[in-house]
Structure 1
């Protein structure tokens, strides 16, 4: 099932009590777009229906679920409590049906309306996002990318996550050693420290500097150090349990929280260079060498021979190669 088209099913109604026999599965496509857009007209356009037909579909969905789903609010519609629960579930179901129906089929990126879901950090978006979007749009103007920001505990749930998305961009760790997961190298980076231009630190950081400093640390939890978050492990490798002045659930926010302060942070060099001139940051080597950061693309083995997914993986790898070597 391509994004932008209704689910093409003629499902016979039999005597089974399964919920599959109580709902026209053609409604799944419009349900997904209604929950995404929160607007009947835009949802209708997405699936190629008239506005009255989309309104009729919404009425049928409301009757089936015995819920308003879209609740009128100032300036538009909001999702009901039930609709919020349905939003993630319908994405998984539709993606699964699409994968089922396209198994073994040829894939034409120039005409496909498929959506690919990729989980990645805001650091990876900063480094890879522009090239990924441009490369995909150049080859497949109708394909949709769904970029889902990674959460701190991704690796703890990787075996479950990898089954519900097309791919994950992440550094490797022991929890990724799951038999059904495959991966490809993307790009490398190294760890550097950033400090404000007017900060007290000299041109060369010493062990005393980093031990006594106040730190900005992404995804830090006082109760778990070091954690599976890459920055946490690198700080531990420096022999530090940092004095945390600011913690934030974002990599891209870190340079902004260091600038114009006397704090320090450990960040990926590619990210540091993006913001150094704009924010007046000094990029400094840590007092001891650290292992390089290696980003890889991860996917479930069931996608390996799928033509559409093979194309998608090539696009991601090609985008990564335009920003640097992937000798991981």
Structure 2
């Protein structure tokens, strides 16, 4: 295909039409008139030899070809933006770049303050946008990493992509202060008989230490599931439930009323948190700089309790 014969201006309307599945909404998002966007849609239909959007009832649906094009158009547009926003050098004091990072509330709580201080001191115009690292994002990590500047995950979920280790952590148990079934220390029998609150309980979304319990012959009786580590103490306080938390989070929550932090009655698997990114960012000077910011913030953490 000869790219010189293509109108790359059609890439933006193609991406928005496939996102919105509506000429009206896509035109509003792009600040264009409906006739102008309808003209673009007609040209796209001629190019692909496909309707792309077909009416079904009162709405439009993507054709099979359009469904294939949607992630490709988004990735192409991101690539174009990155190519044309590149600079020969990078001065953090004058940069206004926004970095998008997928991360759990745990990582944001642990590293957020330190990273924020570094940016305030050295790059006041730089903005960080933290987005939740959902199960679907992690499951489709090779493709997801094309759309963000990085993903914060511990080792054990991703392989074959660049990463930088940030900090090590441990696991502890959390129980309610009013839970009179637990003494000064938890026992393995407590883990078997008491109810649990789990984070990320599905076939692909899980914590490694939760899987370790099963390897130890314990099938936890899970009565609450939450996709947030910081919410765990609130689902434990005033109940008989047990929860698992990272040591750094436990330190932050040590003053929370209604909960006790206790050592696990087994040796939990260690946790090493890392920043992962797509190889296309390897030589980007701005990206190298933000990677070092996160690494510096991780090095500044005190050892996990």
Say yes or no: TM over 0.5: yes
Q: Shift of the alpha carbon at 1:258?
A: 0.4
Q: Does the 8 Å contact 1:193/1:283 carry over to 2?
A: yes
Q: Shift of the alpha carbon at 1:300?
A: 1.9
Identify the match of residue 122 of structure 1 among 90, 101, 105. 105
Q: Give the 3-state SS of the residue equivalent to 1:314 in structure 2.
A: helix
Q: Shift of the alpha carbon at 1:90?
A: 8.9
**d(CA) in 1 for partners of 2:240, 2:268:** 23
**d(CA) in 1 for partners of 2:189, 2:232:** 22
Determine the structure 2 residue equivalent to 1:259.
237
Q: Shift of the alpha carbon at 1:114?
A: 1.2
Q: Does the 8 Å contact 1:252/1:271 carry over to 2?
A: yes
**d(CA) in 1 for partners of 2:76, 2:39:** 20
Identify the match of residue 161 of structure 1 among 135, 144, 157. 144
Structure 1 residues 271 and 66: CA distance shift in structure 2, 3 A? farther
5+ residue gaps in structure 2?
A: 21-27, 41-58, 62-66
Q: Does the 8 Å contact 1:231/1:267 carry over to 2?
A: no
Identify the match of residue 143 of structure 1 among 123, 126, 129. 126
5+ residue gaps in structure 1?
A: 1-13, 36-54, 68-79
Q: Does the 8 Å contact 2:209/2:268 carry over to 1?
A: no
1:252-287 deviations in Å (ceiling 9; x for gaps): 111111011111111112112222322331111111
Q: Shift of the alpha carbon at 1:20?
A: 2.1
Determine the structure 2 residue equivalent to 1:105.
88
Alignment of 1:86-105 (within 5 A): 95-103=78-86, 105=88
Q: Give the 3-state SS of the residue equivalent to 1:106 in structure 2.
A: coil
Q: Does the 8 Å contact 1:132/1:315 carry over to 2?
A: yes
Q: Shift of the alpha carbon at 1:94?
A: 5.6
Determine the structure 1 residue equivalent to 2:188.
207
C-alpha root-mean-square deviation of aligned residues, in Å? 3.4
Q: Give the 3-state SS of the residue equivalent to 1:277 in structure 2.
A: coil
Q: Does the 8 Å contact 1:104/1:306 carry over to 2?
A: no
1:69-99 deviations in Å (ceiling 9; x for gaps): xxxxxxxxxxx999xx9xx999856642342
**d(CA) in 2 for partners of 1:317, 1:134:** 14
**d(CA) in 2 for partners of 1:312, 1:81:** 41
- How many residues align structurally? 265
Q: Shift of the alpha carbon at 1:128?
A: 1.1
**d(CA) in 2 for partners of 1:62, 1:324:** 60
**d(CA) in 2 for partners of 1:166, 1:312:** 9
Q: Give the 3-state SS of the residue equivalent to 1:318 in structure 2.
A: helix
Q: Within the alignment, does 1:20 sit opposite 2:8 as a pair?
A: yes
**d(CA) in 2 for partners of 1:63, 1:230:** 52
Q: Give the 3-state SS of the residue equivalent to 2:214 in structure 1.
A: helix
